[in-house]
């Protein structure tokens, strides 16, 4: 039986996240967006409430929540502000490779840090010349005795300026393409340099930075998983985190739809509220369909993970559709507002700017289509178990 009816506990978690978004995030979201400031106070409050790191297994200090529960929380936080939500939830991306493949010692030490204090971690994959083409990365890691020495730089790193540690991908075999990539855990105090703060179009309350590794030495045991198996770890990570991005996109689209509905009932043209005009009704109806289907695709991709099944195709479906829908819905919300939607005094323009990055990070819409095409042309059984950690 297929049933997406939420349990009382799941509804309670969603309500708690919504209350936090409504009472703590929404009142300051547009101020943070305008100034591009870091929401440290919200990080601390969210950590205290357990809205961060809830995906950690209980033995490492987490709540051990499932992927569906995580998506419920992320939709609500992004409804409040997707920039702030990105700041609060990015630990999930940095820690997924650790949970998947790191040694018990690394898990206890570094997951424990995040569980014991409101600290952050960053996921470092993208480089100036290696975005969608991961195999083109130039960052290297060379084994020297009982150390790894890392050299290179990573760009567009979420929470990069504030991270306590970094999950870093580097070439350990320069000639092997994506088969020569390894994954490492790099503490900030090993000598990581924050080189550049990005001034972004949207999600301005999230921190995005370039981080540099100049002869950064880490212990040999800070290799995550096996040498030259990092690409597999990265792909398994993204399968697990793309449902969360889809949930965020759903939250942004839902927020834009709600603003558009409210405005359409208040704005009078030709003697009646514009909500009475069929042209506007059709826009609102399309918004509602896209939000509804985005949520269903998101939940499906998360539930497969909770069932221990492979979700590569479904997570790409969800991420692609929800992100594209968020861009469409926020653009249409601006259209409903007319000229006022183009003015910063009105809140929908922020949502439109925020939505764009959802089509870009954690795999562009085009990369999702490549994954979908590959999985569709060479299908695997959906009920197959998820691959073992590398």
Domain boundaries, the chain: 8-116, 121-228, 231-377
Residues 156-187: tens digit of each pLDDT: 999 999 999 999 999 999 999 999 999 999 99
Residues 296-329: tens digit of each pLDDT: 999 999 999 999 999 999 999 999 999 999 999 9
Residues serving a catalytic function are 362
Q: Which CATH number fits domain 231-377: 1.10.3090.10, 3.20.20.70, 3.40.50.1440, 1.20.140.10?
A: 1.20.140.10
Residues 194-234: tens digit of each pLDDT: 999 999 999 999 999 999 999 999 999 999 999 999 999 99
Q: What is the pLDDT of residue 379?
A: 73
Domain spanning 8-116, CATH architecture:
Orthogonal Bundle (1.10)
pLDDT at 26 over 90: yes
Please state the length of the chain: 390
Alpha-carbon distances, residue 156 vs 8, 87, 225, 235 (angstroms): 38, 13, 24, 18
Domain 121-228 in CATH: superfamily? Butyryl-CoA Dehydrogenase, subunit A, domain 2 (2.40.110.10)
Residues 31-42: tens digit of each pLDDT: 999 999 999 999
Q: Contacts by 326-329 with C-beta closer than 8 Å and gap 24+?
A: 326/249, 326/250, 326/252, 326/253, 326/256, 326/294, 326/355, 326/358, 327/352, 327/355, 327/356, 327/358, 327/359, 328/290, 329/252, 329/253, 329/256, 329/257, 329/287, 329/290, 329/291, 329/355
Query: Comparing 121-228 with 231-377, is the CATH topology the same?
Result: no
Q: What is the pLDDT of residue 102?
A: 98
- In this structure, is the dihedral angle defined by the CA atoms of residues 235, 240, 246 and 248, taken in order, positive or negative? negative
């Amino acid at each position: 039986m297929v049933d997406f009816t939420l349990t009382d506990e799941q509804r309670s978690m969603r309500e708690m996240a919504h209350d936090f978004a409504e009472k703590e995030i929404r009142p300051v979201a547009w101020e943070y967006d305008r100034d591009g400031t870091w929401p440290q106070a919200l990080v601390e409050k969210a950590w205290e409430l357990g809205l961060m790191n809830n995906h950690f297994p209980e033995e490492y200090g987490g709540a051990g929540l499932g992927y569906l529960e995580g998506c419920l929380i992320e939709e609500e936080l992004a409804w409040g502000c997707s920039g702030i939500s990105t700041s609060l939830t990015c630990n999930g991306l940095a820690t997924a490779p650790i949970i998947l493949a790191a040694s018990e010692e690394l898990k206890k030490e570094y997951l424990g840090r995040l569980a014991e204090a409101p600290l952050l971690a960053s996921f470092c994959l993208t480089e100036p010349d290696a975005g969608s083409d991961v195999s083109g990365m130039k960052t290297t890691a060379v084994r020297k005795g009982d150390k790894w020495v890392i050299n290179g730089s990573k760009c567009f790193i979420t929470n990069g300026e504030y991270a306590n540690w970094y999950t870093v991908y580097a070439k350990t075999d320069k000639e092997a393409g994506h088969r020569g990539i390894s994954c490492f855990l790099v503490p900030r105090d090993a000598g990581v340099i924050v080189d550049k703060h990005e001034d972004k179009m949207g999600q301005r309350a999230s921190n995005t930075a370039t981080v540099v590794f100049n002869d950064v030495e880490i212990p040999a045991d800070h290799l995550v998983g096996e040498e030259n198996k990092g690409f597999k770890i990265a792909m398994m990570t993204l399968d697990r985190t793309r449902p969360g991005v889809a949930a965020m996109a759903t939250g942004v689209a839902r927020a834009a739809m709600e603003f558009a509905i409210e405005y359409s009932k208040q704005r009078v043209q030709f003697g009646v509220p514009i909500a009475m005009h069929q042209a506007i009704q059709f826009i609102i109806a399309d918004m509602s369909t896209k939000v509804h289907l985005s949520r269903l695709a998101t939940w499906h991709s998360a539930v497969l993970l909770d069932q221990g099944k492979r979700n590569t195709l479904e997570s790409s479906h969800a991420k692609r559709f929800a992100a594209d829908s968020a861009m469409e819905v926020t653009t249409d919300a601006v259209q409903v507002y007319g000229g006022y939607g183009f003015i910063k005094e009105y809140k929908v323009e922020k949502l439109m700017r925020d939505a764009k990055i959802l089509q870009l990070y954690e795999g562009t819409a085009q990369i999702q289509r490549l994954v979908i095409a590959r999985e569709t042309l060479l299908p695997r059984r959906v009920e197959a178990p998820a691959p073992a950690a590398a």
